[in-house]
Amino acid sequence: MPHHARSAAVVLAVLAAAPTSGQPVLLVSNYNGGNVAQLSQDGAPSIYASLGAPLGMVVDGAKNLYVANFDNGGAIYKVTTSRTISLFASVPTPIGLAIDGAGNLYAAGGSANTVSKITPAGTASVFATGFSAPYALAFDGNGNLYVANYNGNSVSKVAPDGSASPFASGFNGPAGLAVDGNGNLYVANALSSLINRVSPAGIVSPFAMLDSFDRPEGLTFASDGNLYAACHGSNEVARMTPAGAVSYVALTTGGAGYFNAPRFVVPSPVPEPDSLMLTGAAAAAALARLRSCRRSPSRRRSTAHL
């Protein structure tokens, strides 16, 4: 996996900057790091919850976080706002998660080629079948569930009754889904780093192009109206404006609470206090870790959209 670092001046600016007005607090699942990190308004990550090898995440109406753990017997964990962690349910090979208006949880079973439905009481059943390595899920405003078929390079649409049909195709490792307020679906192509936009009619168009080795996976919209992507390949979080302009809001330092193969991203149910911003000795320690990381040639960040 590629590793890179930025200059000391940029790192210190990120670690010690004042809070940015309107910048949402995000949660990022660190698959290799074994934790869910919280990216604060200051741009400094900290550990929100430590558990296994986390993948998909979703937040319910009571601000509980649910986290899929593919490598731990199909476990889905529930994390309360007080950070209490408990086993909520177990389903076959869960990756992406989504939740409907009634509080039912849905899990993409990557190796099982199914989507499971889990009631608020934790009772699991098979909701839909016939997928090709389903990876990510997203609901639209009409209760339809979209399923990213990673191996099939396509997206399926599942009606509320569980009946599935093809919706769009021509992707390259679709691994993240998000729906905007107009019903447009956004698809992260992990193998090409392209973000597509799909109209409600199924028309596919390019939306934004990330750096070639970012390998974007999970997508989410946040309160600032921007689209965010967890970049597995570069250990960063990408931010895309409604016009498709790209910037990056996090970086890897190799320290605890920082990003290590991030897979999914969601808005945090619990704002992080500004006091958790890294300053002084903590910032110096993070910078020292950064300097110890293997550096690769610098790359120019793409800010153009398609």
Tokens 């439905």 sit on residue: 117
Angle separating helix axes 8-16 and 280-292, nearest 10 degrees: 140
Predicted confidence at residue 251, as pLDDT, reads 54
Tokens describing residue 104 = 């039912």
Predicted confidence at residue 52, as pLDDT, reads 87
Tens digit of pLDDT at every position of the chain (306 positions): 333 333 322 222 232 233 344 578 999 999 998 999 998 776 667 889 998 899 999 999 999 999 999 877 899 999 999 999 999 999 999 999 999 999 999 999 999 999 999 999 999 999 999 999 999 999 999 999 999 999 999 999 999 999 999 999 999 999 999 999 999 999 999 999 999 999 999 999 999 999 988 999 999 999 999 999 999 998 889 999 999 999 988 654 544 446 888 999 999 998 754 433 344 444 444 434 333 333 333 343 433 333
Predicted confidence at residue 296, as pLDDT, reads 38
Predicted confidence at residue 144, as pLDDT, reads 98
Predicted confidence at residue 272, as pLDDT, reads 58
Predicted confidence at residue 260, as pLDDT, reads 86
**Rounded to an integer, what distance in angstroms lies between the CA atom of residue 145 and that of residue 164?**
9
Predicted confidence at residue 22, as pLDDT, reads 58
Cβ(276)–Cβ(39) below 8 Å: no
Q: Return the DSSP state at 305.
A: B
**Rounded to an integer, what distance in angstroms lies between the CA atom of residue 265 and that of residue 273?**
19
Predicted confidence at residue 7, as pLDDT, reads 30
Predicted confidence at residue 152, as pLDDT, reads 97
From residue 275, alpha-carbon distances to 40, 78, 257, 263, 278 in Å are 10, 26, 16, 27, 8
Predicted confidence at residue 297, as pLDDT, reads 34
Minimal CA–CA distance to 281: which of 255, 245, 243, 251?
Answer: 255
Tokens describing residue 59 = 């937040």
Q: Please give the backbone phi and psi of residue 280, each rounded to the nearest 5 degrees, phi first.
A: 55, -125
Tokens 């021509």 sit on residue: 170
